[in-house]
Structure 1
Amino acid sequence: MVSERSFRLKGAESTFGRLGEADLPAILDIERGGYGYPWSEAQFLDCMGEGFEAWGSFFGGRLTGYLVHWQVLDEAHLMNLCVDRSHTRQGIGRQLLRHWISRMTCQNMGELILEVRESNLGAQALYRSEGFVQVGERPDYYPDGGKRESAIIMMLRL
């Protein structure tokens, strides 16, 4: 883990750091606690290759949230953002999102894109509050029990 920036979280210092394979057990714990259909270890390993980056938020040396993104040309795609259930509603997701936007702005990305579950109104509100707008929909994108759920496609032009 390489610390890059810090922020205040409930009166204590938290840091951002680049994630790697050594962080996979902690990433998977958060992923499995946050999603009904979590990514597999293989999916995370695939997203640690060329063109991908994973960043985490650390509080007291413990991973509290992460994001994974992919870059191609002047476009960056948010693949996954998740916060540990014991640390939700503390601004970690927003700080991770802002960190990503800031890094992508510095790298002269033209636009940021993400998909979010149609039912995840809290995440949609977070993304909108940071300037993302809905630009489309992917029908039946996410697994949801015996059926599928649509994804809302959102974009932020930098």
Structure 2
Amino acid sequence: MSRLIREGQFIDDCWRWLDADEAPAPAPGERLILPSAVWQAHRPGLDAARTGVWLAPDDDLAPLLPWLATIPLIAIRFPVFTDGRGYSLARLLRGRHGYAGELRAVGDVLRDQLYFLQRAGFDSFALRADQPAEEALAAFRDYRWAPFSRG
């Protein structure tokens, strides 16, 4: 079981990630994260409470929108840390579409991005394997946000 950061602490990840070529056949009680296209194709037969969706940076949000209230977890994959499209997807999901479930950053996620990912709306983070886990939580204290003052 992998570990991730959620609500300011490390927790065990209780979700199993499926790639596009895997069929969604969960064991009893198992939670799955499916690629958006697989989720769309199998949605009617899935246990909504135990099925999350993962998005690539170029995936379309439109097919998910009618179902956002029933999706407990959306993971946005960062193929490389320099690809900022995941931030935009997070802002759209949280701000424009009111998504209230868990929003997870996965893939090439670095410690130095955590504060900014949180500001964009992410609330859980699967760090890249080479990132120092013991230092990761400090990333949320690296910056203090203050609105610009006029003066």
TM-score by length of 1: 0.34
Larger Rg: 2
Q: Which has the higher helix share?
A: 2
Higher strand share: 1
| TM-score, normalised with respect to structure 2 | 0.35
